[in-house]
Structure 1
């Protein structure tokens, strides 16, 4: 059972998230042969205030 965790900053539309999980599922099916119904995906959305690169919060970037 493939289990995929995807961490991303919040702000994407439900349509974008649906497209993301479909594309990831399709890629795993293609590359591993695992049945789609066995592929689990967990989306972890975080606030911009909870993510930083090089000591700068994403919320502080323009």
Structure 2
């Protein structure tokens, strides 16, 4: 049973996560020969103030403003 953990900034919509889950599940089935129902994916949503890329917190990175704004508004389709 493949167990896949995905860490990403909070703020992705349920539709985005659904699309991701479908694609990753199919990839696990194809690459590993796993049964679709045995592929487990867990999202760990992280806040922009606890992750930094290139020495800049996501909460202070202008290039991540869209995702950070969705997190701040609590939007989750």
Q: Could you state the TM-score of these two structures normalised by the residue count of structure 1?
A: 0.92
Q: Distance in 2 between matches of 1:38 and 1:18?
A: 17
What is the distance in 2 between the residues matched to 1:34 and 1:9? 28
Partner in structure 2 of residue 44 of structure 1: 44
Aligned structure 1 segments of 4 or more residues deviating by more than 4 angstroms = none
**Residue 15 (structure 2) aligns with:** 15
The answer for unaligned runs of 5 or more in structure 2 is 63-77
Structure 1 or 2: more strand by fraction: 1
Task: Name the Cα RMSD after superposition.
Answer: 0.8
Consecutive unaligned residues in structure 1, runs of 5 or more: none
Give the TM-score taking structure 2 as reference length.
0.76
